[in-house]
Amino acid sequence: MNTELTKIHPCFNKEAAGTRARIHLPVAPKCNIQCKYCSRKYDCMNESRPGVTSDVLNPFQAASYLEKVAEKIDIAVVGIAGPGDAFAEPEKTLETIHRCKEKLPEAIFCLSTNGLALPEHIGELSEAGVTHVTVTMNTLDVEIGQNIYAWARFNKKNYRGADAARLLIDRQIESVRLLKESGITVKINTILIPGINESQIIPIAKMAQHYDVDLMNVIPLIPVEGTAFENFEEPSCRDVESFRSAAGEFVDQSRHCKRCRADAVGILGEDTNAEIRLLLEESSQLGEGFTEERTKIAFVSREGVLVNQHLGEAGEFYIYEPTKDELQITDIRKAPAAGGGNSRWKEVAEILNDCAYVLTGGAGDNPVRILGDTGLSVLSIEGLAHDAAKKIFSGESVKHLKVRKSCKAGSCGSGNGCD
């Protein structure tokens, strides 16, 4: 166990729960299994349970969001807890960790997972600096597993029934073993489902003891509307404590879990305030490439509507900026005179130093390189400037709008300095 780090991790140490803040980054919307008690529902700020988030972020947006939140709250722990599984799309999870580690290197990094797709990535987690991992395990019995899991998807193949349960259980045990061998602190979460898996609490605790697991968290089922267990009764605190006490003979028990949302922020048990919720919403609409200094999009056009002019022909730049109500052209800036070689593009870079992108009908390799070196991305696209800018600001792809044929010397209309 990473003893010193665990002392300040609010999910692993009750003493830290009331003093250390954590942030959950909702970057994993997909799941590779379907638990019969789970329903991942977004845009529900009044519902507090795992699998729920107001917005989903991509890795760039998550790093930007973390940076903004860290300016307002002293964040001790950065976690990824869904709303799906962290390794349904492992590349997103790993990229998020790397980006956020650069923003907040002193924080503890952790994540939670069902363990199905985890074993192949444990080395990468360790290298990325992840020190704490939670694996949700609800049974070691295949027959009982059939009653908990509807399906599992692994290596592009779907599994159902006993096959899904067997695969998941085997992979979960392998995950726990490899995590502990890698020196990562491990917590096992077990959902207590009345009439389904009570008999499995002690076997899971004994398995945890065998692999020297650091902590176990027996969590009462939350009956969720629309799931197979919606009509089940939530286990009482007395029943949960009884199981925790029995399992505690084999592995340390957590007794302060608040069953947090996938976008939880702050001290354990405290609701995220409106200011932080707004930061999450704003970050979810942020396109990659934007920074605090570069918040606008420029485009070149013959009439101010279509992106239909080559960069070398531009006489002016139209500037898009998101306002409270809508996306608007807020400025028109005169371009430097054609010609002048590299000095012209350096001047353009200065004119557009508050823009993250310039949209153009075509551009040569030289201006793309020079402007790119300053942080200004040149996108050669076709179509309505407003539609393209709106997609970029919201983080959507504009791949379908991109010009297929690159601009070469002599092909830029008048040829006035495109290269």
Residues 214-243, mean pLDDT to the nearest whole number: 90
Q: Where are the alpha helices (DSSP H) in 112-160?
A: 122-128, 142-148
Q: Check pLDDT > 90 for residue 271.
A: no
What pLDDT sits at residue 279?
82
Does one domain contain both 266 and 307? no
Q: Is residue 418 part of a domain?
A: no
What is the rounded distance in angstroms from the CA atom of residue 182 to the CA atom of residue 132? 11
Does one domain contain both 174 and 268? yes
Give residue 195's pLDDT band: very low, low, confident or very high (50, 70, 90).
Answer: very high
Q: Which residue has better confidence, 31 or 408?
A: 31
Whether the bond between 83 and the residue before it is cis, its omega within 30 degrees of 0, is: yes
Write out pLDDT tens, residues 100-121: 998 899 998 999 999 999 999 9
Residue span of the structural domain in which 146 resides: 3-284
Residues 129-158, mean pLDDT to the nearest whole number: 95
Give residue 223's pLDDT band: very low, low, confident or very high (50, 70, 90).
Answer: confident
Does one domain contain both 267 and 322? no
Q: Tell which residue, 290, 310, 287, 293, has the closest CA to residue 360.
A: 310
Give residue 2's pLDDT band: very low, low, confident or very high (50, 70, 90).
Answer: low
What is the rounded distance in angstroms from the CA atom of residue 418 to the CA atom of residue 323? 32
Q: Quick check: 139 and 148 in contact, CB under 8 A? A: yes
Residues 6 or more apart whose Cβ sits within 8 Å of residue 39? 51, 224, 225, 226, 227
What pLDDT sits at residue 404?
58
Does one domain contain both 141 and 52? yes
Q: Quick check: 219 and 189 in contact, CB under 8 A? A: yes
Q: Is residue 419 part of a domain?
A: no
Residues 6 or more apart whose Cβ sits within 8 Å of residue 398? 379, 381, 388, 391, 392
Q: Which residue has better confidence, 123 or 46?
A: 123
Residues 6 or more apart whose Cβ sits within 8 Å of residue 418? 310, 311, 312, 313, 362, 363, 364, 367, 407, 409, 412
What is the rounded distance in angstroms from the CA atom of residue 310 to the CA atom of residue 305? 14
Show the 3-state SS of 151-217.
Answer: EEEECCEEEEHHHHHHHHHHHHHHHHHHHHHCCCEEEEEEEECCCCCHHHHHHHHHHHHHCCCCEEE
**Last residue within a domain, chosen from 249, 284, 319:** 284
Does one domain contain both 329 and 385? yes
**What residue type is assigned to position 12 of the chain?**
F
Write out pLDDT tens, residues 369-405: 899 888 899 999 999 999 999 888 876 777 778 775 4
Q: Is residue 289 part of a domain?
A: no
Domain at 239, CATH number: 3.20.20.70
Domain at 376, CATH number: 3.30.420.130
Residues 216-224, mean pLDDT to the nearest whole number: 90
CB neighbours (10 Å) of residue 340? 13
**What residue type is assigned to position 402 of the chain?**
K
**Last residue within a domain, chosen from 227, 254, 284:** 284
Q: Is residue 65 part of a domain?
A: yes
Residues 218-230, mean pLDDT to the nearest whole number: 87
pLDDT-wise least confident of 4-8, 44-48, 159-163, 354-358 = 44-48
**Last residue within a domain, chosen from 284, 317, 332:** 284
Give residue 159's pLDDT band: very low, low, confident or very high (50, 70, 90).
Answer: very high
Does one domain contain both 258 and 117? yes
Q: Which residue has better confidence, 10 or 304?
A: 304
Q: Is residue 408 part of a domain?
A: no
Give residue 187's pLDDT band: very low, low, confident or very high (50, 70, 90).
Answer: very high
Write out pLDDT tens, residues 5-40: 666 666 766 665 566 788 889 998 889 999 988 876
Does one domain contain both 304 and 280? no
Write out pLDDT tens, residues 310-319: 999 999 999 9
Q: Outline where DSSP puts E strands in 9-122.
A: 21-24, 33-35, 75-80, 108-113
pLDDT-wise least confident of 39-48, 133-142, 406-415 = 406-415
DSSP 137: -
Does one domain contain both 40 and 98? yes
Does one domain contain both 354 and 224? no
Q: Is residue 157 part of a domain?
A: yes
Nearest-10 Cα torsion for 34, 35, 40, 44 = 170
Q: Quick check: 84 and 28 in contact, CB under 8 A? A: yes
Does one domain contain both 207 and 69? yes
What pLDDT sits at residue 335?
95
Does one domain contain both 221 and 166? yes
What pLDDT sits at residue 327?
84
The mean pLDDT of the chain is 85
Q: Is residue 406 part of a domain?
A: no
Residues 320-343, mean pLDDT to the nearest whole number: 85
Does one domain contain both 95 and 225? yes
Q: Check pLDDT > 70 for residue 275.
A: yes
What is the rounded distance in angstroms from the CA atom of residue 94 to the CA atom of residue 403? 31
Residues 40-47, mean pLDDT to the nearest whole number: 51
Please give the tally of structural domains in the chain: 2
